[in-house]
Amino acid sequence: MSKIVIFGTGDIARLAHFYFTSDSNHHVVAFTVDAAHLKNTQFCGLPVVDFKRVEKLYPPRTYHMFVALSYTQLNRLRARKYLAAKNKGYRLVNYISSLATVFKNVQIGDNCFILEDNTLQPFVKIGNDVTLWSGNHIGHDTQIENHCFVSSQVVVSGFCQVKPYCFLGVNSTIHNGIVIAPQTIVGAGAVITENTVEKGVYVPPRSIRLSKSSDKIKL
Query: Are 107 and 46 members of one domain?
Result: no
Q: Which of 87, 103, 124 marks a domain boundary?
A: 87
For range 66-77, the mean pLDDT? 98
Contact 155/137 with Cβ under 8 angstroms? yes
Residues 6+ apart with CB under 8 A from 158: 121, 139, 140, 141, 142, 176, 177
Q: Provide the Cα torsion 53, 55, 59, 60; round to 10°.
A: 160
Annotation marks residue 140 as catalytic: yes
CB atoms within 10 A of CB 17: 22
Last residue of a domain, one of 61, 87, 113: 87
Tell me, yes or no, whether 130 and 75 share the same domain.
no
Q: How confident is the model at residue 40 (pLDDT cuts 50, 70, 90)?
A: very high
Catalytic residue among 37, 64, 140, 175: 140
Output the domain CATH number for residue 51: 3.40.50.20
10 domain residue, yes or no: yes
Domain presence at residue 23: yes
Indicate whether 205 belongs to any domain: no
Number of domains in the chain: 2
Domain carrying residue 144:
94-199
6 and 73 together in one domain: yes
Q: What is the pTM of this model?
A: 0.95
Q: Please check whether residue 188 lies inside any domain of the structure.
A: yes
pLDDT bin (cut points 50, 70, 90) of residue 150 is very high
Predicted pLDDT at 218: 83
Is the model's pLDDT at 1 over the cut of 90? no
Q: Are residues 112 and 44 in the same domain?
A: no
Per-residue pLDDT at 217? 87
Residue 215 lies in a domain: no
CATH of residue 113: 2.160.10.10
Q: Say if residue 118 is in the same domain as residue 54.
A: no
Q: What is the pLDDT of residue 119?
A: 99
User: What confidence score (pLDDT) does residue 162 get?
Assistant: 99
